[in-house]
Structure 1
């Protein structure tokens, strides 16, 4: 690797780190707001919030790293052009294809990072995230034990506790169940404990009473008790363990999937191939959009006013490539047998980059056109 290649690659990596951090913070804050709302509503702690947000980072990074790489390439190329460094290197005999070598190396580095994320880290984090969400859904303590507040863990259930002692004893408990159409139940107790049983968590109440109101007969029954046990399993809603999803399964396992795993994932072999292809294409796009951004700025030459037109062209080309990729992705979702179309947008991006580099390597054609336009009679 030549000295110029090392210099440009160093600049690209440095700006790539900056843009990645900036975009990650923006996306992380946006995702964290909704997550914080959900967790605080269920009475979870700040450590749980931090753990879940960290688990969501791989999913965020796999989508923003190619965009950060594109921004780094455009920024570095524009700066090298405005400071005449590209002009000096081109005068030394570097062709556009030779100038693209550090950009290609940089794109491969980004592509490898995206591949590791897409094929392994994102499925691992998604699986762990699913497990943590299931644990939170089954955490009856966090969902019910909020002092001095009426909580509604599921529709039709209201729970209130005035105070929770250091020993974990609940004082002045109220529980209302209005899920039945023809019956309303409510329980009041001076003390209560939450204990675990084979059938699930149980609310053990002391010194209280229960009220049952029959709506059809308009009859109220009151029963006083010294001790009463009420199952809280129904308050959790549907807490069955969710089956493994295709998003939480790494690509190596998907490619070696047995019929039993295909049945668990509820996916056909063609759908599995389409999923692995989508992950691979994310890594490929990390390479090709870097080349597109570099080639679009390379055709501008030197300008003291900057390459704003070429930057705009690079952004337009990026939008075209991503729009085509999304369109092909929708078609593949409807018909997984079309999975080869996943690479079509990336191939088009490569053709764009090569065409722009060829144009940058033949400036005489542009000069001839400009000269012919200037010599036209008026």
Structure 2
């Protein structure tokens, strides 16, 4: 790659990385704040918090990478124009094609990155996220049982633990009034959380069960040495995992199981998800070409570039919004698959044609006077 092209490539690549990191950090922070209850209410460690929220980054990068590339290309071209570098390059014989080559190379790299994220990383991260959240739900009962506090697991179910010593729970009190008017109270000297065959139990030892059928009656008391209280309904650990279309592997979307209940219920979702993954790599190239069409020609410092930048932003926003609309249409209409791919391709082709259009030759205005008009006369 010649020196000029390396210079443009490096300038744009650095801007792209900076913009992508900043945008991802801002959006990730807003998303992560919603999950603070993992630490505050559900007793998880800060590392679990970062692990779970970090799994959303591949999904964010697919959306933000084309936008970051557009911003980087627009910034780099605007800077080159502002410093009159494009004017000097043009005067030295560097045409629009050579200016486009480093930008196109960067766009292809970003497209490859977006493609890998869409086809492989996103479903992997979302599946891992589902597994992590399931483990958090399964572990939440063990983590929220804090010493000396009455914990309401759900309505009419309260648990109290006097002391936690390692994995053991000492001085356990459980009041279960879900099956009104019957009220059941469990008292135990010790206990522990046990997971077995996908189910979670609070195993109580050396205690008693008091059952009160209705007000005014004496409770029936039963002493036990070992009793298992089922916590699976509150953990969701026993539920059969059913992956959403976005969490399915790309191979599963290409060849879905005809007997899959989720596919039978929403075949359009599977179709839309598959083609959305395949079309995502086209948007970085289209957005870069739009930026180049708006700012790739040499301009003097007296020529305003604000209108061109605004037009490029509007074109990018319109293309992306239209793409989302067509993808949603694909859920219910199979023929919309052609429009899904045609939209970014046509947007990029139109931008490319505009960038390499021939400027109209300047001529005398009608009624002009002067040497040129006299010569024509």
Aligned residues of 1:322 and 1:345 also touching (Cα < 8 A): no
Tell me the equivalent position of 1:287. 285
Q: 2:287 & 2:83 partners in 1: Cα distance?
A: 24
Tell me the equivalent position of 1:8. 8
- CA separation of 1:27/1:221 partners in 2, compared to 1, >3 Å: closer, same or farther? same
Q: 2:76 & 2:269 partners in 1: Cα distance?
A: 40
Deviation at 1:271, TM superposition (A): 5.1
The correspondence of residues 209-248 of structure 1 with structure 2, limited to 5 A, is 209-215=208-214, 219-223=217-221, 225=223, 227-236=225-234, 238-239=236-237, 240-248=239-247
Deviation at 1:282, TM superposition (A): 1.1
- CA separation of 1:129/1:219 partners in 2, compared to 1, >3 Å: closer, same or farther? same
Tell me the equivalent position of 1:307. 305
Deviation at 1:339, TM superposition (A): 1.6
Deviation at 1:95, TM superposition (A): 3.5
Q: 1:49 & 1:91 partners in 2: Cα distance?
A: 56
Tell me the equivalent position of 1:346. 344
Tell me the equivalent position of 2:375. none
Tell me the equivalent position of 1:329. 327
Is 1:362 aligned with 2:359?
Answer: yes
Q: 1:305 & 1:318 partners in 2: Cα distance?
A: 23
Is 1:91 aligned with 2:86?
Answer: no
Aligned residues of 1:192 and 1:204 also touching (Cα < 8 A): yes
> Residue deviations 1:205-240, cap 9 Å, x none?
34544333335x654514263535132234425431
Aligned residues of 2:256 and 2:263 also touching (Cα < 8 A): no
> Residue deviations 1:290-314, cap 9 Å, x none?
1101211235722257622222121
Tell me the equivalent position of 2:249. 250
> Residue deviations 1:234-292, cap 9 Å, x none?
442543131233222332443344545x5565477765443222112111001110110
The correspondence of residues 124-163 of structure 1 with structure 2, limited to 5 A, is 124-139=124-139, 141-163=141-163
Tell me the equivalent position of 1:62. 62
The correspondence of residues 161-176 of structure 1 with structure 2, limited to 5 A, is 161-166=161-166, 168-176=167-175
Deviation at 1:19, TM superposition (A): 0.9
Deviation at 1:71, TM superposition (A): 0.8
Q: 2:365 & 2:155 partners in 1: Cα distance?
A: 77
Partner secondary structure for residue 151 of structure 1: strand
Aligned residues of 1:199 and 1:233 also touching (Cα < 8 A): no
- CA separation of 1:301/1:48 partners in 2, compared to 1, >3 Å: closer, same or farther? same
Is 1:318 aligned with 2:316?
Answer: yes
Tell me the equivalent position of 1:37. 37
Tell me the equivalent position of 1:76. 76
> Residue deviations 1:321-377, cap 9 Å, x none?
112112212211222442222123213312431243144x4153xx55xx749969x
Tell me the equivalent position of 1:193. 192
Is 1:179 aligned with 2:186?
Answer: no
Aligned residues of 1:161 and 1:173 also touching (Cα < 8 A): yes
Q: 1:84 & 1:220 partners in 2: Cα distance?
A: 93
Which region of structure 1 is more displaced relative to structure 2, 18-27 or 271-280? 271-280
- CA separation of 1:150/1:302 partners in 2, compared to 1, >3 Å: closer, same or farther? farther
- CA separation of 1:160/1:306 partners in 2, compared to 1, >3 Å: closer, same or farther? farther
- CA separation of 1:206/1:274 partners in 2, compared to 1, >3 Å: closer, same or farther? closer
Deviation at 1:16, TM superposition (A): 0.9
5+ residue gaps in structure 1? none
Aligned residues of 1:243 and 1:265 also touching (Cα < 8 A): no
5+ residue gaps in structure 2? 370-377
Query: Structure 1 length as normaliser, TM-score?
Result: 0.86
